[in-house]
Amino acid sequence: MKLNYILNSTLILGFSSVTLAQETNITIDLGIKKYVGKESKLDRTKYFGIQSAATSNEFKSESDYLFSELNTYPSRGFDGPQPYGDLEDLSSGKISSKAKSKSSYYKNTATFKNYGTRKYVITQKPSKVFKMGADADAAVDKISAYMKEAFPENSSNYLDLMDQTFASTTLFSDDTDEAKKEISRYFADIAKGLKKKFPKLKIGGFSSLRPRFELNNFDYWENNHKLFMDIAGEQLDFLSLKLYDEVDRDTSTINYCSGSDAEATLDLIETYSFNKWNKVKPLLISEYGIKVPYWEGTAYSSDRDGFILESLNKMVMTLMDKPDRIEKAIPYILGKAEKFYKNSVINPNGNPHPLAVTHKSADGKSYEYSNLIKFYEFWKDVKGVRTYIASDNPDIQVNAFYDKGKWMLIFNNLSDESQLLNFNFSEFDAERISKYTLRRLFLNESGLPELTEAFTDIHIDQWDIDANETLMLICDVPVDTEFATSIVEYNNYSKQMLKPIVADKPIEFEFTNVKTGKGKANLRVSFGKDVKSDLQPIVKINDNIVLTPKNWAGYNQSNRKTFFGMLSIPIPMSYLKDTSEVEITFADTGGKVSSVVINSEIFSTDVENKNYEAPNTLVYSSHGGNLLHISSEIKCKNPKITDLEGNTIKKLKSYKNGETIDISTLKVGKYILETTTNGKLKFKK
């Protein structure tokens, strides 16, 4: 991924990964309903909100378009329990008349009333909530009074008590380490007290800026997130953080979090959560997208919007893959943001926030949408249940959903090179698609974001996706479409983590209760080490060596001193055992393996569908090309799979008559099943 972005209208070109344009194989099967844990149906309120309380005064007539037509939601605002004055200004159990007026405004505004029960995130700055020596019991009384006044009774909201808790150095200048411990204890005490009064209110923290866990050989992790989880985590319903692509101040290039960095960051939090509580506490991503401080306080410039949209789509594609452990993820897009910055030191001219969805028109009398509205316009129709889709290229992110005759396939290119996508539909699906709608969000030749749609009834089996483009393929299929089977994705965490890397010394990770069966599996190996060191470990699982790919999701991180990312390594299902051991070995010393996760997708036959009857053939593939069906009419010993040239690809030594064979590790293509009784039978994966 190329490191390029705009600072003060100057194009800064950074490092880029040198890659050749390549083909990506996409396996797609509408007959397979996909579960991630227990989650299948897309909850739009999790991912497509806006950083705004969205009162009618803020959006006026725009709310009909933004909220009704584009299906988005007000998701987060700085309207917490202490919006005016410090703690000592408010007597215990009471709120000031000014705060009461403000809270009543939120409670009674029509627009907010319509959406206020949709899991809204309440937060505020630390200076309004905490001082060294603050009384947690008094804070509980004040927060309780405010919550009762400001929000509908029994509303299911989130309290992310303080925004950027550990980032406010002015609060902690006397003793930073001790302050972090005290504020963590304060968090825990408030959470414990509020739970008794508001059973539906979910409380969490600490909404840190983009974490750089790998810094100083993971000291940043130890002294921030781990410390907070150790002290306050037991009392919290969720853990919150922000994920940004952001400026690398030393090189003036973008330090991308999207891709493998974000995956490694979330895997570390999840793994430690599992270590502490034998479960993964859900994550609330209070902001995701891009953050460029140089833009703040400057006049609106449309040439920035493309970079913002690219970051948003890269992040949301990653977060949509984790619905079972993402509580909520809010795009870093604001409403009319002048009021937050006008007359401030950083914005004396009252310019809008660079990530505002609206800005003033040229005449200065009205408002119009910025290009950021295209984020919501692109995603407006996406809903329904997940269906099976897989990419063999980590730079091509994929998701698929089905709803009432519409099959929505989404692709995002993390690479700076265009990619040729080969769509491998199941033979059942291709013939049932009556119409294709192609929706594209990309940068045009002028560097501005463009959203287009085109329609065709001609079958599409290939498509070129531009660098950093997001593409949606909406397929019209019969409304009565049902599922033939289902697949369930599991994540298995190890109790070992943050293991130091020593040259040629195997690092061991143990797993118990691993989900096995027919399907596919990957090892998610995350590590932080010098970016110029060996980044290709030797990996074994249960004494079987697996091939480590040379590519990971996103850019090569060459503008950073330390690489931190996740390598996804395909492994044959036959290598997995209920109790499994993984060994990771690097050629040089330095850094740590932060986490290893076994990700498995197991097929089931809990759904039957007459539309997916077995074809009248002796051998065929199904389940997204992962299973090979061999008719019981074929009676032979030790059949084998070869390529079209006769080279042996897979021996079926333990084959039993009529058995279904796992072929998940085979590449997409044409093969031959060679038998003793029926000769050579061709099939396609």
pLDDT given for residue 65 in this prediction: 84
pLDDT given for residue 112 in this prediction: 46
Instruction: For residue 430, give Cα distances in angstroms to 388, 389, 407, 475.
Output: 14, 14, 12, 10
pLDDT given for residue 610 in this prediction: 43
Average pLDDT, the chain: 83
Distance CA 26, CA 475 (A): 15
Task: Mean pLDDT check: name the lowest of 14-28, 329-343, 401-415, 547-561.
Answer: 14-28
The rounded percent of the chain whose pLDDT value lies above 70 is 82
Q: What is the pLDDT of residues 209-226, one digit of tens each?
A: 888 999 999 999 999 999
pLDDT given for residue 415 in this prediction: 94
pLDDT given for residue 346 in this prediction: 53
pLDDT given for residue 131 in this prediction: 77
Peptide bond into 455 cis (omega under 30): no
pLDDT given for residue 81 in this prediction: 61
pLDDT given for residue 456 in this prediction: 95
pLDDT given for residue 658 in this prediction: 77
Q: What is the pLDDT of residues 603-642, one digit of tens each?
A: 876 544 444 455 567 888 877 777 788 888 787 777 899 9
pLDDT given for residue 164 in this prediction: 81
Cβ(603)–Cβ(532) under 8 Å? Answer: no
Cβ(284)–Cβ(615) under 8 Å? Answer: no
Q: Can you read off the two tokens belonging to residue 432? A: 């049932």
- Does the structure show a pLDDT above 70 at 103? no
Instruction: For residue 274, give Cα distances in angstroms to 202, 213, 485.
Output: 20, 18, 30
User: In terms of pLDDT, which residue wins out, 279 or 633?
Assistant: 279
Q: What is the pLDDT of residues 29-82, one digit of tens each?
A: 998 999 999 999 999 999 999 987 654 345 555 567 888 889 888 888 776 665
- Does the structure show a pLDDT above 50 at 89? no
**pLDDT tier at 561, thresholds 50, 70, 90:** very high
Q: What is the pLDDT of residues 370-415, one digit of tens each?
A: 999 999 999 999 999 999 999 999 999 999 999 999 999 999 999 9
Q: What is the pLDDT of residues 480-500, one digit of tens each?
A: 888 888 999 999 999 999 999
Distance CA 347, CA 327 (A): 33
pLDDT given for residue 82 in this prediction: 52
User: In terms of pLDDT, which residue wins out, 59 or 321?
Assistant: 321
Shortest CA distance to 526 belongs to which of 561, 490, 494?
494
Burial of 462 (0-12, 13-18, 19+ CB in 10 A): exposed
pLDDT given for residue 105 in this prediction: 42
Contacts of residue 133, defined as CB under 8 A and 6 or more positions apart, other chains included, come to none
Q: What is the pTM of this model?
A: 0.86
- Does the structure show a pLDDT above 50 at 90? no
Each residue of 83-105: b (16+ CB within 10 Å) or e? beeebeebeeeebeeebbebbee
Distance CA 48, CA 147 (A): 25
User: In terms of pLDDT, which residue wins out, 337 or 643?
Assistant: 643
Q: What is the pLDDT of residues 431-479, one digit of tens each?
A: 889 999 999 999 999 989 999 999 999 999 999 999 999 999 999 999 9
Q: What is the pLDDT of residues 179-201, one digit of tens each?
A: 889 889 999 999 999 999 888 88
User: In 531-615, which residue ranges form alpha helices assigned H by DSSP?
Assistant: none
- Does the structure show a pLDDT above 50 at 1? no
pLDDT given for residue 518 in this prediction: 86
User: In terms of pLDDT, which residue wins out, 129 or 601?
Assistant: 601
User: In terms of pLDDT, which residue wins out, 407 or 296?
Assistant: 407
656: how many CB neighbours lie within 10 A of its CB? 8
Instruction: Tell me the mean pLDDT in the region 318-343.
Output: 82
Shortest CA distance to 16 belongs to which of 251, 300, 283, 366?
251
Q: Can you read off the two tokens belonging to residue 442? A: 């990309």
pLDDT given for residue 298 in this prediction: 76
Each residue of 405-421: b (16+ CB within 10 Å) or e? ebbbbbbbbbbbbebeb
User: In terms of pLDDT, which residue wins out, 669 or 273?
Assistant: 273
Instruction: Tell me the mean pLDDT in the region 307-330.
Output: 97
Instruction: Tell me the mean pLDDT in the region 100-120.
Output: 50
- Does the structure show a pLDDT above 90 at 312? yes
- Does the structure show a pLDDT above 90 at 154? no
